[in-house]
């Protein structure tokens, strides 16, 4: 299964970019992962949604699953998250896309289209900080699924 982290906005913070690159490298043996950025639009959430849709339209819909990150979404333990991702992989998911919205979140259309709305915390988190956070959790989920000792209960 391939993983794409689709994020609204350009990250310029070298520390965040370094962490993201590190987790993408760690994920290669498990689920090859890429971070893709689409333009942030100050005009509206709908304009950002159009950028997301433009990117998604380039992908084959077969085997594609969308996870929208939203503070109101379902929350999991690390083991529960691993089970969820493994379920996607075992049931025909070829490409799993995690979508991080801009400052104003996602449109209701995207939330309805998503296969899962995922909440990392009840806190509202800065969308740039979410990038390394979700990549670490994806890596943790992959290592749990493979029985690697990275995660400790």
What pLDDT does 31 receive?
97
pLDDT at residue 73 in the model:
95
Q: DSSP assignment, residue 115? A: S
Work out the average pLDDT over 50-77: 94
pLDDT, tens digit (0-9, with 9 covering 90-100), for 9-39: 999 999 999 999 999 999 999 999 999 999 9
pLDDT over 70 percentage in the chain: 100
Q: CA of 30: how far to CAs of 48, 61, 133, 149, in Å?
A: 30, 22, 18, 14
Verdict on whether the full-model pTM lies above 0.85: yes
Residue 69 has pLDDT above 90, yes or no: yes
Q: Look at the domain 2-145 and name its fold.
A: Alpha/beta knot (3.40.1280)
């Amino acid at each position: 299964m391939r993983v794409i982290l689709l994020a609204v906005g350009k990250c310029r913070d070298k520390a965040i970019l370094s962490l993201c690159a590190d987790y993408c490298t760690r994920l290669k043996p498990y689920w090859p992962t890429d971070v893709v950025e689409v333009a942030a639009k100050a005009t509206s959430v709908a304009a950002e949604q159009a950028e997301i849709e433009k990117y998604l339209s380039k992908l084959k819909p077969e085997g594609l699953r969308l996870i929208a990150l939203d503070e109101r979404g379902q929350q999991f333990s690390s083991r529960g998250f691993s089970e969820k991702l493994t379920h996607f992989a075992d049931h025909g998911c070829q490409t799993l896309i995690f979508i991080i919205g801009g400052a104003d979140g996602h449109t209701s259309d995207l939330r309805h289209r998503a296969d899962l709305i995922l909440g990392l915390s009840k806190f509202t988190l800065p969308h740039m900080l979410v990038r390394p956070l979700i990549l670490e959790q994806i890596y943790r989920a992959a290592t749990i699924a493979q029985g690697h000792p990275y995660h400790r209960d």
